[in-house]
Amino acid sequence: MTRVALHKYAGEIRFVDLFCGIGGFRFGAEDAFRKNKIKSACVFSSDIDVWAQKSYLANFGERPVGDISQVEAGDIPDHDLLFAGFPCQPFSIIGKSKGFADTRGTLFFDIARILEAKKPAGFILENVKRLVNHDEGKTLRRIIESLENLGYKVEFRVLNALDFGLPQKRERVFIVGWRGGGNFAWPESGQGYRPLDEILEPDADQKYYASEKIRQNRRRLHTSKHSPSIWHENKSGNISSHPYSCALRAGASYNYLLVNGERRLTPVEMLRLQGFPAKFKVVCADTQMRKQAGNAVPVPVVERLTERLLSLIIAKQRWISSQKASGQE
């Protein structure tokens, strides 16, 4: 059974933010809590990147703990929900045995050991789309099995930020788990996305413009049918353009995305493409912000998923309470 009752039964929802980056999960979850008039508290956050810690501190008033693998699960406060955009690592230790022991040596293990120790009511995890087919699907199946062996019902789905109001084609796999019965109602897609006009800054600094040589070469190879547009050059040198952005990537070449084939995205524009609020404080250099935005999780996607998870868990808690009141538990 769940350790702590939620919402009206607990007073507030306590959550942890693992591999937190610059707080995409936290912004999205807190948006969902506020929308549903639920009090909440982030009781623990962790990220090993010192620059991400700096951004998180500036925006939430707390510096995340560093290497989560060095933190004892017992030292993490009790919580109701766990959020984690864990890094995608090769899952080299996958044997025939069952349970989360199969994932020792990977960062997923740190999530599993915390779930085992703290038994929160639910969780939402995020990773790159290629995790679905990694090792012919064996990696994801082992992850799901590990989570189910910890007492959770688990579902996963690949979601695209384009379907959640953001002009960015960003497909990521989300894994949702909860204790007890019921079925998770995945948010419907196809709501449309904000036009680039609402994302792009009207007067970007000249430092963001590509060299004239690069701009001429792009125009020679491609003519866009959209205005405004974001031009994307892939690893083969092929160029395409769309009225939205291709996925932001932390480690991509410097000029792989160019607004109207001319300039790079500004930090503010990258944050907007990920759905971060206007109040977000930019305190790091452009190079770090490019990495941080590229590693972030889209805020509106987290908000919608959190709402659905809350609805499912709270309904279960109300059922448990009614059973207790009637003496049928």
Catalytic sites, residue numbers: 88
Chain-centroid distance, C-alpha 21: 9
DSSP 138-185: HHHHHHHHHHHHTT-EEEEEEEEGGGGB-SEE-EEEEEEEESSS----
Rounded to whole angstroms, the Cα distance separating 315 from 164 reads 25
What phi and psi values does residue 127 have, to the nearest 5 degrees?
Answer: -155, 175
**CA 108, 113, 117 angle in degrees (round to 5)?**
150
Q: Exposed, middle or buried by CB within 10 Å (0-12, 13-18, 19+), for 278?
A: exposed
Secondary structure of residue 59 in the 3-state scheme: helix
